[in-house]
Amino acid sequence: MADKIRVGVVGAGAIGTVHVNSWKQVPGAEVVALSEINEERAAARAKALGVPSWFGDYREMVRRAEIDAVDVCTPNYLHCPVAVAALSAGKHVICEKPMAMNKAEGLKMVAAAKKAKRTLMMAFCMRYRGDSQAAKKLVDAGELGNIYHIRVITMRRRGIPGLGGWFTRIEQGGGGPLLDIGVHLLDLSLWLAGFPQPKSACASKYTEFGDRKDYTYLGMWGTPEPGGPFTVEDLVSGFVRFKNGMSLTLEAAWAANVAGESFIDLMGDKGGIRLALGETLALYAQRNGQLVDVKPLFKNPDAYVEEVKHFAECIRTGKTPMSPGEDGVKVQAVIDGLYRSAEAGKEVNI
């Protein structure tokens, strides 16, 4: 590999744009190519972002010898095929969340990375926030003791992304808010807890708003495609049991008649943490017979920049990423269990 890490980004949408701009802040790295299924759009976005080359077919791009790493920023259904093609071509891969459409696809990605002896990293950006890192230090220092229950809430009052587009098509998105915003806090909470082995899942899912097709009132995020389908859920409520006795509850919604909020509560027998990203990080504990609230100090650098910096470091040093592909498989297994339970209407084994 040359001194400079040369990156090809697949996907020229909103998240692809964020990643391209983040790479610009990584010393010794450069985005040299952009791929987008619409070649005209690829050319326009590459020009706007200052990327020297573009491709309409990602398979052609990942075969290029001048590319060292591929950044996957596509709709969910393309994560696995793009990642596997890139890894098979000898490229290192960072992949946006969720890992794939299901655990089976995730396992294919991990197997491809092992066969190619290349780095596969999940872009679980929430792990790279300053408040998340501070929370991890508290957990690892034993401040919570034994974590026995986690509560995950990520609710939007209104905010269905790109209503009518790929986000709301089951064959392209794989699911609704659980795979879009729920995966962020589910991953973060499991990582903080040390990834205990899941045992079973019980869930319900609802489509109460999206199929009303009120694009202006319900979307309020992204670019809607009027007339497009809504074949996913707009709310999931779930309960997960773990083999170590821990439990986790989760609510994720794109639209619900509640105040929008997003936080994690980790409850331990010595202390607890409330992590509301960008708003609150608090440790609730007992000291000398008194209840105390501790609010740690931390800096919050740009998480997207931090994650690609870390990926570049892993490529250069060969060290295991903080968010490896194997963790993506673990998160996907829980998500799969929640969806299977919601479809079956009963608790299922994971």
Domains for the chain: give ranges and CATH numbers: 5-118 (3.40.50.720), 127-303+332-349 (3.30.360.10)
What do you get for the CA distance between the two ends of the chain, in Å? 40
Q: Quickly list H helices, 117-238.
A: 130-140, 170-173, 177, 183-192
E-assigned strand segments in the chain: 5-10, 29-35, 53-55, 69-72, 92-96, 120-123, 147-155, 198-206, 235-242, 247-253, 261-268, 271-276, 280-287, 290-294, 348-349
**327, 121 contact by CB (below 8 A):** no
DSSP, collapsed to helix, strand or coil, labels residue 172 as: helix
d(CA 348, CA 350): 7
Reference 70, options 129, 9, 13, 16; nearest CA is 9
pTM of the model: 0.95
**At 269, phi and psi to the nearest 5?**
-80, -10
- pLDDT above 90 (res 277): no
Q: What is the pLDDT of residues 53-105, one digit of tens each?
A: 999 999 999 999 999 999 999 999 999 999 999 999 999 999 999 999 999 99
d(CA 156, CA 168): 16
Q: What is the pLDDT of residues 175-223, one digit of tens each?
A: 999 999 999 999 999 999 999 999 999 999 999 999 888 888 998 888 8
Q: What is the pLDDT of residues 33-45, one digit of tens each?
A: 999 998 888 999 9
Q: What is the pLDDT of residues 290-305, one digit of tens each?
A: 999 999 888 889 999 9
